[in-house]
Chains A and B, each alone.
Chain A
């Protein structure tokens, strides 16, 4: 089955052969992988997917790799959790959490995109992979490069959280800390990618890499019994994930795999200190004004998001919306999810929970409609954010009487 049809410019439609290129030579629009959907119809079925492995590769036919996955065989198929306690707290009927904080192997949805990009790098014969990253991508590229026996160069803003730095270095990449914001790191990487023949997963491999995010969307729909939810709230940094979840839904519709019509509204969640996409949505303009990030949600701190325009269009096309969260609301969001569902997400997840809560309170998301909240990263990577907020309740000597006294004191404090 020939499923891939090279690359196509999303703006002008010009075709390109499959190659490690990401920008249309003529209009600079983004290149996208083109599929022969007609060849996939009737071949990719609910049954064929269900017969696949319990990983993102059950959707392999809808991902841009030629052969088998070369790395990351166990990525994806993370839990979709019916969040009853959170729903009660929010006064909603049906809330789900798609939990990529437990994605194997580096605890974020980035494993999905990297598994595709690194497989593709091997298919194209590269010996070095690279990326610009705010942390999660760094972790994942370093890990999958190790697995694929590739060299890796990872570029990060120098002020990144320690957990994300160590969680990268442990896999033995070459880590380059750049004195600058993520946007500056990213611009530098665009120029490096032009000069060195490396597989930059989020630059020249972007058309392939970004397709991996579709698996997050496919899983939501399959796990909901092939019905589409009323609302999906998605954290936005570069803006790719929200567009790819939407694309996943449309592909499943094209292939006739959905139960009923698509009624999903896509909502963007960003930090107030770095929310250029949500600002576009609130001002209803397709012109992105870049910002200088100032937020604790560092994994979302992209002031000049590459897919900002498309993220805006996705919310618009689906009838969705967007919301900002302040740093305080982000922390409250993290604590709310942990307290109600026992899920410890990173700051980005706090943004999403907080934004969802505000959209519900504003009446943008009706309380009687089904809502999926996208949790894409793990809280243990960014403990710094909570350091000052949480403390041990009692410190005692190892004696029963000491505990009795401490317990009495704790009870008197809460009564």
Chain B
């Protein structure tokens, strides 16, 4: 399942400068595994030692925060867009 993944600036050193990547996965977790295959080192920047999404990173599937979906078990389908966004932003 090819999915478009948007990479924030701090991670582009790992993705060879690419801001958008095509990756595969049935779920967010398996997508992260594919990202790691393509760009070794990416996974540990996204997930902590126990495999949980790090506190200061949010992942959105088609603009929806995965914490409102099934978190890392959220399923993906062809053509979905996934954004990885640093959590620290905003004020009001």
Interface residues of A (CB under 8 A from B): 11, 22-30, 110, 113, 131-137, 182-184, 186-187, 189-191, 193-194, 200-203, 206, 209-210, 237-238, 240, 289-290, 292, 299-300, 302, 304-307, 309
Q: A302 and B88: CB pair below 8 A?
A: no
B83: which of A133, A191, A299, A304 is its contact (CB, 8 Å)?
A191
Interface pair B67/A202, CB less than 8 Å apart: no
Residues of B participating in the A interface, judged by any CB pair closer than 8 Å: 6, 8-10, 13, 19, 45, 54-58, 60, 63, 65, 67-68, 83, 85-92
Q: In the assembled complex, which residues on chain A have CB atoms less than 8 Å from the CB atom of B88?
A: 22-23, 28-30, 206, 306-307
Q: Are A290 and B67 in contact (CB under 8 A)?
A: yes
A307 to B89, CA, bound (A): 9
A137 pairs with B85, CB closer than 8 A: no
**A186–B89 CB distance below 8 A:** yes
Taking CB atoms, residues of chain B closer than 8 Å to A206 are 88-89, 91
Least CB separation from B54: chain A residue: A28
Q: Are the CB atoms of A11 and B92 closer together than 8 Å?
A: no
Q: Which 10 A-B pairs have the closest CB atoms?
A: A202-B91, A28-B56, A25-B10, A186-B90, A23-B86, A30-B88, A237-B92, A134-B92, A203-B89, A306-B90
A110 to B9, CA, bound (A): 28
Q: Which residues from chain A contact B65 at a C-beta distance below 8 Å?
A: 183, 187, 290, 304
By a CB distance below 8 angstroms, the chain A residues around B89 are 22, 132, 186-187, 189-190, 193, 200, 202-203, 206, 306
A188, closest chain B residue (CB): B63
**B56, A300: Cβ atoms closer than 8 Å:** no
Contact status A136-B83, CB under 8 Å: no
Distance, CA A23 to CA B84, complexed state (A): 13
26 example contacts (A-B, Cβ-Cβ < 8 A) are as follows A23-B8, A27-B56, A28-B10, A29-B88, A113-B91, A132-B90, A136-B92, A183-B65, A183-B90, A187-B58, A187-B89, A190-B8, A191-B6, A201-B91, A202-B89, A202-B90, A202-B91, A206-B88, A210-B91, A237-B91, A238-B90, A238-B92, A240-B91, A302-B92, A304-B58, A305-B90
CA distance A306 to B65 in the complex (A): 14
What is the CA–CA distance of A27 and B16 in the complex, to the nearest angstrom? 19
CB-contact partner of A28 in B13, B57, B60, under 8 A: B57
Closest to A310 in B: B88
Given contacts A187-B83, A304-B65, contact A23 B92 (CB under 8 A): no
Tell me the complex Cα distance, A240–B91, Å: 7
Q: With a CB–CB cut-off of 8 A, which chain B residues contact A182?
A: 90, 92
Q: How far is the CA of A377 from the CA of B57 in the complex (A)?
A: 31
Q: Taking the nearest CB of chain B, how far is it from the CB of A12, in angstroms? A: 11
Pair A23/B91 contact, Cβ less than 8 Å: no
A299 — nearest CB in chain B belongs to which residue?
Answer: B92
A-side contacts of B86, CB under 8 Å: 22-23, 28, 190
Q: Which residues of B contact A24 (CB under 8 A)?
A: 10
Q: What is the CA–CA distance of A238 and B87 in the complex, to the nearest angstrom?
A: 11
Residues of A within 8 A of B58 (CB): 187, 304
Question: How far, in Å, is A316 (CB) from chain B's closest CB?
Answer: 16
Contact in complex: A209, B91 (CB < 8 Å) = yes
Contacts of A134 in B (CB 8 A): 92
Interchain CA distance A202-B86 in the complex, whole Å: 13
**Chain B residue at minimum C-beta to C-beta distance from A28:** B56
Max count, chain A CB within 10 A of own CB: residue among B54, B57, B86: B86
Partner of A30, one of B56, B57, B92: B56
Contacts of B63 in A (CB 8 A): 184, 187
- Looking at the assembled complex, report how far the CB atom of B76 sits from the nearest CB atom of chain A, in whole angstroms: 18
Contact of A191 among B10, B85, B92 (CB under 8 A): B85
